[in-house]
Chains A and B, each alone.
Chain A
Amino acid sequence: MSIANGAASPSTTLVEVRNLKVHFPIRRGLLRRQVGAVRAVDDVSFDVYQGETLGLVGESGCGKSTTGLAMLKLQAATAGSVLFRGQEVTTLPEGQMRQLRRHMMMVFQDPYSSLNPRMTVGSIIGEPLSVHQIGEPSQRPARVKELLRMVGLNPAFINRYPHEFSGGQRQRVGLARALATSPAFIVADEPISALDVSIQAQVVNLMGDLKAELGLTYLMISHDLSMVRYISDRVAVMYLGKIVELGSRDAVFDHPMHPYTRALMSAVPVANPKLERQRKRIILEGDVPSPARPPAGCRFNPRCVFAKDICRQQEPELRVLEISDGVEHRVACHLAEELAV
C-alpha cells in the first residue's frame, strides 16, 4: 500500500533545521513604523534524514510553506539556522547560495504560474543545466529529453510552450526542472493540491518512483493527509508557526498524541464504509488565532478541550515521548502522558 520505504536510517542527517523563525513585519502609518510581526514560523527545529520523505502537514496559514521556502533561502529567515550537509544556508552569501541550489530544488504548488509562459518546455527544463553549467551545451537537449521521458512526457514535446499542456503535465515539467541537476533534496510545496483528483495519484506515484530511482530526499508540504500518509516516512504537524508533533508516519497517524493532531487525523476519511461510519470526528471549536498575536503558553490552548492552567502559562517543548520503529516520536504538549492513558 505504501511506497515509503520504511524507517530511514536516522544516522545521516541531510538537512538540519534549528530554532528557525520567519517573522513578517507589520508596518503602519506614514513612516511605516513596525508595529508588530506575523510569526509565520516561530522557533521550529527538525531534521530531514537522507533518503526519507518527511511530510509537513497543517492547515492553511500555519507556516508550512514558509518553512520550506526558508529552508531553501527563498525567504529570508529572521533567526535560527538551516544546515544542509552541515553547511549553514540562512547566512550564506547569494553567490555561494546559487552554487548550492543545484543540490536543493523546489517543486511548486501552482503548475500554471510556476512555468514561464514565454519559454519552451525544453528551455525551462534546460535552464538549471545552463545556469550551473552542467554538461556541454550541445548535449543538453539530450539530457532534457531524458528528463522528459523520466517524468513520463513525450520527448517530442521539447519545443512546446507550457500553455499547450494540462495541469498534470505541467507539474511533470516542474518536476523535470527540479530533477535536472540531480539534486539531493527536493522541497515539494503542495505539489498536487492544484491538480484534479484523478491526476493527483499519478503525480504522487511518479514522485515516489523517482525517489526510489534517484535516491532523493523529499520535504513534502501538504494539507492532504491521505497523500502524506501514503508517501511519507515521517510526519511533522504544524500549528500556528510551531511543530506540535513529529514522528514516524504510523506513530503520528495511528497514535497521535497531541490534541490538535488527534482532531486533524479524525478528519481523514476511511475508505472502508463500515469503518468510516464508526469514525468519530473531533470538531475543534473556534478559529485559529492570528499569528500576529499568538496566545500565551501553548498555542493550541484556546481551542483545546483538555487545556489546564499550565497550558495557558508555559509554552510546551517538543519532547521525545516514545521511540517507535526506531524513530523518535516528539510531541509539544504538557499533558501528553496523561492523555495517552
Chain B
Amino acid sequence: MTATAQAIDLAEDKPESLWGKARKRFFRHKLAMFGLITLSLLIFVSVAAPLLTPHSPTEIDLRSIRQPPSADHWLGTDGTGRDVLTRIFYAGRISLSVGLVAVTISMIIGVIIGSIAGYAGGKVDMTLMRVTDVFMTFPSLVIIITVAAALGPSVYNAMLVIGMLTWPSIARLVRGQFLTLREQQFVRAARSIGVTRGQIVFKHIFPNTVSSIAVALTIGVANIILLEASLSFLGLGVQAPTPSWGNMLRDAQSLNILQEMPWMWVPPGLMIALAVLSINFIGDGLRDALDPKSIH
C-alpha cells in the first residue's frame, strides 16, 4: 500500500445502489420525463374517465350526429352521436392495456427462449432459433384474422395473439446479448471463482441485458398499440361499441369525414402518436439511466 493511498483514505463514498443512481439519471433525462408525464396523463384520463366527462362512451344520441366541437361536446360527436372526447378517454383503457398485456406475454416468452438459446448454445440454440424463425415467418395479420374467425374477435384474443406473435424479435435480441456476454471474460472470471451456472445467468449475464430489454419492451408496447390500432381499424380487434383508438379511426374511414370532420379522426390519431412517442422516449431514458457507464 502506498502512502498516497493512505493519505487520501478519506471517508468512504456514500453507498449508492445501481437503482438509486439509475433513478436519478432517469429523472434528469428531459425527453424521458416528457414521456413519463405524457404517459401518466394518458393513463390518468383513461382511468379517471368517468369523473372527467358527463357522457357515456356508448350512449347513442341520434339528435346530435357528427356535431362539430361545442361547449357540450368539446371534441364533437361521431356518426352515432357519441361524445368523441369521452370515447378517446375510454379507448385509452383498452389500447394501453392491450399494449401492456401483450408486451408482457411476448416479453416472458422471448426472454425465456432467448436466454436459454443464448446461454446453452449449440444444438439447443439451433433448435430454438429455428422455431423462432418459423414464428417470424407467420404472416401476423393472416394468423390474427384466422384466430378472430375461430375464436371470435375480442380484446383478449387480440392481446393473446399479438403476444404470441411478437416474441421472436425479443428472443433474438436476448439470445444475441447472451451470446456476446457469455464469452465475456467476467463470465469466465465468475466461473473461475466458483459461481454456479444459475448465479452466472442471473447475477452476471441477465443484469447486463436489462437495458436492451427495457428498450425492446418500450418499443414493443408502442408497436403493439399500433398493431392493435390496425387490427381494430380492420375490424378484427376491439369490437364496437367498446372504443379503442384503432376502431375510432376505422369509424372515421369515409372520405367525407376525413375531409370535412377532422374532430372524428384527429384526436384518436393524436392519442396513438402521443402514446407511442412518450413510451419510446421513456425507453430512451431507461437505456441511458440503466447504463452505469453514462457520466452524470
Taking beta carbons and an 8 Å cutoff, which residues of A are in contact with B? 72, 74, 97-99, 101-102, 105-106, 108-110, 113-118, 127-128, 131-132, 149-150, 152-161, 163, 174, 177-178, 180-181
B194 touches A99 (CB 8 A): yes
Given contacts A114-B185, A114-B189, A131-B194, whether A152 and B208 have CB atoms under 8 Å apart is no
A154 touches B9 (CB 8 A): yes
Interface residues in B263-296 (C-beta closer than 8 Å to A): 292-293
Among A98, A106, A113, A155, contact of B9 (Cβ-Cβ < 8 Å): A155
- Kindly report which residue of chain B lies nearest to residue A98, judged by CB atoms: B194
B11 touches A115 (CB 8 A): no
Is B142 in the interface zone, CB < 8 Å from A?
Answer: no
* Chain B 180-214 interface mask (CB, 8 Å, partner A; 1/0): 00001110111111111001000010011000000
Bin the interface of chain B by size. 20 to 34
Is B71 in the interface zone, CB < 8 Å from A?
Answer: no
A212 to chain B, nearest CB (A): 15
Query: Could you say which residues of chain A place their CB within 8 Å of the CB of B207?
Result: 118
CA distance A136 to B171 in the complex (A): 40
Is B16 in the interface zone, CB < 8 Å from A?
Answer: yes
Taking beta carbons and an 8 Å cutoff, which residues of B are in contact with A? 1-2, 5, 8-16, 18, 184-186, 188-196, 199, 204, 207-208, 292-293
CA distance A174 to B190 in the complex (A): 11
Query: Could you say which residues of chain B place their CB within 8 Å of the CB of A118?
Result: 18, 207-208, 292
Query: Could you say which residues of chain B place their CB within 8 Å of the CB of A178?
Result: 193
Query: Could you say which residues of chain B place their CB within 8 Å of the CB of A157?
Result: 13
B185 to chain A, nearest CB (A): 4
Query: Could you say which residues of chain B place their CB within 8 Å of the CB of A150?
Result: 1
Q: Is the interface of B mostly helix, strand, loop or mixed?
A: loop
CA distance A30 to B177 in the complex (A): 26
Query: Could you say which residues of chain B place their CB within 8 Å of the CB of A149?
Result: 1, 5
B195 touches A127 (CB 8 A): yes
A289 to chain B, nearest CB (A): 27
CA distance A155 to B193 in the complex (A): 22
A156 touches B194 (CB 8 A): no
CA distance A149 to B292 in the complex (A): 25
Query: Could you say which residues of chain A place their CB within 8 Å of the CB of B190?
Result: 116, 127
Known A-B contacts: A101-B192, A177-B193. Give 14 more (CB < 8 A): A106-B189, A113-B184, A113-B185, A113-B186, A114-B186, A116-B190, A118-B207, A118-B292, A128-B193, A128-B194, A131-B194, A132-B194, A156-B11, A174-B189
- Kindly report which residue of chain A lies nearest to residue B16, judged by CB atoms: A159
Query: Could you say which residues of chain A place their CB within 8 Å of the CB of B13?
Result: 156-160
A108 touches B189 (CB 8 A): yes
Query: Could you say which residues of chain A place their CB within 8 Å of the CB of B11?
Result: 156
- Kindly report which residue of chain B lies nearest to residue A161, judged by CB atoms: B292
Query: Could you say which residues of chain B place their CB within 8 Å of the CB of A102?
Result: 193-194
Query: Could you say which residues of chain A place their CB within 8 Å of the CB of B185?
Result: 108-110, 113-114
Given contacts A131-B194, A131-B195, whether A159 and B9 have CB atoms under 8 Å apart is no
B201 to chain A, nearest CB (A): 13
- Kindly report which residue of chain A lies nearest to residue B295, judged by CB atoms: A163
CA distance A230 to B5 in the complex (A): 26
B293 touches A156 (CB 8 A): no
27 contacts between A and B (CB under 8 A): A97-B194, A98-B194, A99-B194, A101-B193, A101-B194, A105-B192, A108-B189, A113-B186, A114-B185, A114-B186, A114-B188, A117-B292, A118-B18, A118-B208, A131-B194, A131-B199, A132-B194, A152-B5, A154-B8, A156-B8, A156-B9, A156-B11, A156-B13, A159-B14, A174-B189, A177-B189, A180-B193
Query: Could you say which residues of chain B place their CB within 8 Å of the CB of A109?
Result: 185
B193 touches A127 (CB 8 A): yes
A20 to chain B, nearest CB (A): 18
A117 touches B5 (CB 8 A): no
B186 touches A116 (CB 8 A): yes
Query: Could you say which residues of chain B place their CB within 8 Å of the CB of A72?
Result: 192
B292 touches A163 (CB 8 A): yes
Query: Could you say which residues of chain A place their CB within 8 Å of the CB of B9?
Result: 154-156
B208 touches A159 (CB 8 A): no
CA distance A115 to B5 in the complex (A): 22
B192 touches A74 (CB 8 A): yes
- Kindly report which residue of chain B lies nearest to residue A187, judged by CB atoms: B192
CA distance A109 to B1 in the complex (A): 23
Query: Could you say which residues of chain A place their CB within 8 Å of the CB of B8?
Result: 154, 156
Query: Could you say which residues of chain A place their CB within 8 Å of the CB of B18?
Result: 118
9 tightest Cβ-Cβ pairs between the two chains A and B = A101-B194, A114-B185, A98-B194, A113-B185, A128-B193, A106-B192, A116-B186, A156-B12, A159-B15
CA distance A159 to B190 in the complex (A): 19
A155 touches B192 (CB 8 A): no
- Kindly report which residue of chain A lies nearest to residue B193, judged by CB atoms: A128
CA distance A154 to B9 in the complex (A): 6
Query: Could you say which residues of chain B place their CB within 8 Å of the CB of A74?
Result: 188, 191-192
A117 touches B192 (CB 8 A): no
Pick the most buried of B14, B193, B293: most chain A CB atoms within 10 A of its CB: B193
A89 to chain B, nearest CB (A): 13
- Kindly report which residue of chain B lies nearest to residue A128, judged by CB atoms: B193
